């Protein structure tokens, strides 16, 4: 390093640990998206009324997991955008553009449940808003407004006549057989179907989901800017916040879960209107989960598991893609697709977690970055050339 170069700031261990928890937590819902048809992700009745075990598994996951860890990861992604501002616009644009490309490749050639493309696209919009915000309060106020616009659009969609539910909610047996065929067959047939799903997802991002994602990113940047995500408050403060945020979020969401069950997951209500309580409660719960990590950090940091989780967080992108490789191999190549119900699928999750933990800790013994993170950085450096600040080289 030259004398005129400044070293990059040290990593925030608590932030890395929280990111690792978010990546592992996302799999609790994604495992159903890997092992079951796409309609099963939100609709337990895609094959008719579910068993009591399947319904209870859905209810518990809906209350404690569904959207929560994705929300948590979006907040942390926004915090990362705040940290990236020091590297300049050329670096940020290149980095996010490469993420969009990674996401497109992942979504078309590996798995249709990709989130990278959405994060990259919305990040390209949000980083300027983060940079240009007058102060932390203005940034967080804008975040709340954007998020609520997305929720309002979701509510509005529930009042628009939809006719019969489509294959995303209630597929016919023919559609289910075809989905099984192309997922297990792979190749060009699978790529074409994933491209069609990607087109639908892009429309959803532009019309509704993107508003919420932008709001979460801005709010995460505000939490970083305020020092909340820098561990600048006392453990007691964080635990106090968790103690009211999590119960409040559950109180908001519980009526929606009960009503969906009572209505037998009727399309209009469960696909739109009763999603709203979850979307309103999820940010509170995700921040509550983060507050638990920060509040218990003095004790957690002394445990070996916290170090392992931190390593997973340092390699978040590599670990996310590793989950895809493991699960698509298990379900599509080894034929375990549609062989398990929701509760049985959850038994597979710890095995994938173990692979994430072992891979991260073994890799980072010998290398400074995860393999995909290394490639991402090299491609970003290649794209920006001489425009990159000295401190990033």
CA atoms of 380 and 93, how far apart (whole Å)? 9
Q: Is 5's pLDDT higher than 70?
A: no
Reported as a single tens digit per residue, the pLDDT across 43-63 is: 999 999 999 999 999 999 999
What value does the mean pLDDT of the chain take?
Answer: 93
pLDDT band at 6 (very low <50, low <70, confident <90, very high): very low
Task: Work out the average pLDDT over 294-315.
Answer: 96
C-beta separation of 390 from 5 below 8 A: yes
Reported as a single tens digit per residue, the pLDDT across 153-177 is: 999 998 887 777 877 899 999 999 9
What is the pLDDT at residue 167? 77
pLDDT band at 387 (very low <50, low <70, confident <90, very high): low
Q: Which residues face 212 on adjacent strands?
A: none
What is the pLDDT at residue 160? 87
Q: Is 336's pLDDT higher than 70?
A: yes
C-beta separation of 100 from 120 below 8 A: yes
CA atoms of 142 and 131, how far apart (whole Å)? 13
User: Rounded to whole angstroms, what are the CA distances from 128 to 72, 88, 123, 145?
Assistant: 21, 11, 9, 17
Q: Which residues face 299 on adjacent strands?
A: none
Task: Work out the average pLDDT over 272-291.
Answer: 97
Q: Is 9's pLDDT higher than 90?
A: no
Q: Is 278's pLDDT higher than 80?
A: yes
Closest to 322 (Cα-Cα) out of 20, 10, 18: 20
Q: Is 125's pLDDT higher than 50?
A: yes
pTM: 0.94
Reported as a single tens digit per residue, the pLDDT across 185-240 is: 999 999 999 999 999 999 999 999 999 999 999 999 999 999 999 999 999 999 99
Q: What percent of the chain has pLDDT over 70?
A: 95
CA atoms of 275 and 151, how far apart (whole Å)? 9
Q: Is 10's pLDDT higher than 80?
A: no
pLDDT band at 29 (very low <50, low <70, confident <90, very high): very high
Q: Is 250's pLDDT higher than 90?
A: yes
CA atoms of 292 and 158, how far apart (whole Å)? 34
Reported as a single tens digit per residue, the pLDDT across 99-120 is: 999 999 999 999 999 999 999 9
Q: What percent of the chain has pLDDT over 90?
A: 90
């Amino acid at each position: 390093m030259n004398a005129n170069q400044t070293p990059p700031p040290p990593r925030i261990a608590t932030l890395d640990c929280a990111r690792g928890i978010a990546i592992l937590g996302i799999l609790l819902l994604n495992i159903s998206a890997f092992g079951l048809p796409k309609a099963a992700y939100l609709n337990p009745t895609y094959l008719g009324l579910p068993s009591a075990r399947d319904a209870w598994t859905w209810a518990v996951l809906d209350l404690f997991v569904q959207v929560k860890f994705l929300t948590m990861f979006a907040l942390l992604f926004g915090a990362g955008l705040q940290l990236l501002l020091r590297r300049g616009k050329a670096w940020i644009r290149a980095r996010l553009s490469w993420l969009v490309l990674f996401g497109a490749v992942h979504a078309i050639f590996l798995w249709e449940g990709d989130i990278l493309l959405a994060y990259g696209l919305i990040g390209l919009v949000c980083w300027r808003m983060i940079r240009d915000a007058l102060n932390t309060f203005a940034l967080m106020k804008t975040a709340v407004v954007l998020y609520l616009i997305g929720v309002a659009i979701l509510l509005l969609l529930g009042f628009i006549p939809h006719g019969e539910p489509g294959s995303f909610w209630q597929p016919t047996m023919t559609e289910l057989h075809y989905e099984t065929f192309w997922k297990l067959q792979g190749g060009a047939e699978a790529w074409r179907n994933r491209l069609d799903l990607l087109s639908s997802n892009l429309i959803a991002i532009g019309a509704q989901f993107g508003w919420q994602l932008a709001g979460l990113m801005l709010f995460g940047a505000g939490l970083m800017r305020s020092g909340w995500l820098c561990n600048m408050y006392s453990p007691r403060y964080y635990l106090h916040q968790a103690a009211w945020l999590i119960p409040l979020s559950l109180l908001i969401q519980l009526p929606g879960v009960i009503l969906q069950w009572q209505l037998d997951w009727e399309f209009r209500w469960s696909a739109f209107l009763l999603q709203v309580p979850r979307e309103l409660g999820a940010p509170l719960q995700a921040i509550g989960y983060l507050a638990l990590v920060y509040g218990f950090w003095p004790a957690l940091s002394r445990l070996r598991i916290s170090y392992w989780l931190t390593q997973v967080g340092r390699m978040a992108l590599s670990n996310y893609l590793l989950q895809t490789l493991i699960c698509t191999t298990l379900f599509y190549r080894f034929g375990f697709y549609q062989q398990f119900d929701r509760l049985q699928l959850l038994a597979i999750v710890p095995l994938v977690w173990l692979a994430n933990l072992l891979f991260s800790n073994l890799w980072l013994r010998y290398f400074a970055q995860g393999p995909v993170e290394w490639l991402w950085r090299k491609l970003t450096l290649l794209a920006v050339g001489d425009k990159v600040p000295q401190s990033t080289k």
